[in-house]
Amino acid sequence: MKAAHPFVHRHLLSMGDLSPADIGLILQVADSLKEISNRSIKKVPTLRGKTVVNLFFEPSTRTRLSFEIAAKRMSADTYNISASSSSTVKGETLVDTARNLEAMNPDAIILRHSSSGAPRLLADHLQATVINAGDGTHEHPSQGLLDLMTVKERKREIAGLKIAIIGDIAHSRVAHSDIIGFTMMGAEVRVCGPATLMPVGIEAMGAVVCGTVQEAVADADVVMALRIQKERQKDPLLPSFREYAIHFGLNPRSIAGAKPDALIMHPGPINRGIELDPELADGPRSLVLEQVTNGVAVRMALLYLLMGGE
């Protein structure tokens, strides 16, 4: 497989590190690799002999499994380290953990961590490729890419689309990667949520802040709900889930102003009936499971491009 556009990155830490051409290439490669997952023998030898370590300091089912399946379908050897089994419980620092892993010569480390910027710290200390699988409230670039892929499959073009993202914009790393990615590809991204969950200066990332869900979804091509958490530490962010569901929950009524064929997305896991009504989540316009399917393809493409498969 020869690409027209050279892919020069060694790590994927932030959506902002990529150019529109990079994103175009990743989606193109993902599209061509997607078919492998539909074969009866779901394996190609592309990354045979490569070692991929999943280093997860936060709980994750979907993302960790998605990366593991992606690596295995490309024939890489994969290993999983989770926070409970890692040495951090014994007081080892992230940098020391990384150096010890490095001593075993992995080709790529997939990191999920509760601290924003942790993948950058790792990349600064390691030779191996580092892929950010979600860091704090910063970014989740592979999720942003799979969202782009999923929308592009249905809509052909990203440019010109109206994307509404509803919910906890302040703490959602998915929202941050999506805002950067969709605006970079020419879409209009509107965000809406309780003002307590709207971060200062989000406009600077390219998003348009809307006061009501109705305003945000007006004529939208894509409506995305984010997972809501009632409290973080001692910060009184929301009075109740009940009130959130009434004013910011997505249901057929609240998104009535969107385009009739507007796509429904959610990065999961869903609080059913709070941020997303089951009628939408399970309805014909829902892409929730297609997002998960495409996650494997996008991660296969990332591993291939970043690890320089033959």
Partner 1 sequence: MAELHFHPLGEAAGRPLILRNGRVIDPAGKIDAVLDVLVVGEEIAGFRPPGKSDGLPPDAQDVDCDGKWVLPGLIDMHVHLREPGEEYKETVQSGTRAAAAGGFTAVACMPNTRPVNDNQAVTSLILAKARTGYARVYPVGAISKESKGEVLAEYGELKGAGAVAVSDDGRPVANSQLMRRALEYAANHGLLVISHAEEPALSQSGVMNEGALATRLGLAGIPRIAEEIMIYRDLALAGYLARPIHIAHVSTREAVDLIRRAKARGCRVTAETAPHYFTLSEEAVGQYDTRAKMNPPLRSRADVEAIREGLRDGTLDAIATDHAPHSILEKDVEFDAAANGIIGLETAVPLALALVREGVIEPARLVELLALNPARILGVEGGKLGVGARADLTVIDPERRFAYDSSRVVSKSKNSPFLGWELQGQPVLTVVGGQITCAAL
Which positions from 30 to 59 touch partner 1 by CB under 8 A, shown as an x/- string? ------------------------------
Of 115, 127, 196, 212, the one binding partner 1 by CB under 8 A: 115
Nearest approach, Cβ of residue 230 and partner 1 (Å): 17
Query: What type of residue is 23?
Result: I
C-beta of 37 vs 86, nearer to partner 1: 86
C-beta of 118 vs 307, nearer to partner 1: 118
Which positions from 192 to 231 touch partner 1 by CB under 8 A, shown as an x/- string? -------xxxxxxx--------------------------
Q: Is residue 135 a contact point for partner 1 (CB under 8 A)?
A: yes
Sign of the CA dihedral running 269, 115, 173, 72 = negative
C-beta of 121 vs 255, nearer to partner 1: 121
Site stretch for partner 1 (CB under 8 A), options 65-73, 129-137, 222-230, 289-297: 129-137
Distances (CA, A) of 103 to 107, 113, 127, 171: 11, 21, 10, 34
C-beta of 44 vs 198, nearer to partner 1: 198
Q: Which residues share a beta bridge with 139?
A: 135
Which positions from 240 to 279 touch partner 1 by CB under 8 A, shown as an x/- string? ----------------------------------------
In this structure, what is the dihedral angle of CA atoms 12, 13, 19, 21, given to the nearest 10 degrees?
Answer: 20
Angle between helices 118-125 and 94-102 (to 10 degrees): 40
Q: Is residue 155 a contact point for partner 1 (CB under 8 A)?
A: no
Site stretch for partner 1 (CB under 8 A), options 87-95, 97-105, 151-159, 217-225: 87-95
31, with CB counted inside 10 A (0-12, 13-18, 19+), is: middle
Rounded to 5 degrees, φ, ψ at 17 are -75, -15
Q: Is residue 168 a contact point for partner 1 (CB under 8 A)?
A: no
Nearest approach, Cβ of residue 126 and partner 1 (Å): 14
Residues that bind partner 1 (CB under 8 A): 16, 93-95, 113, 115-118, 120-121, 135-139, 170, 173, 176, 199-205, 233-235
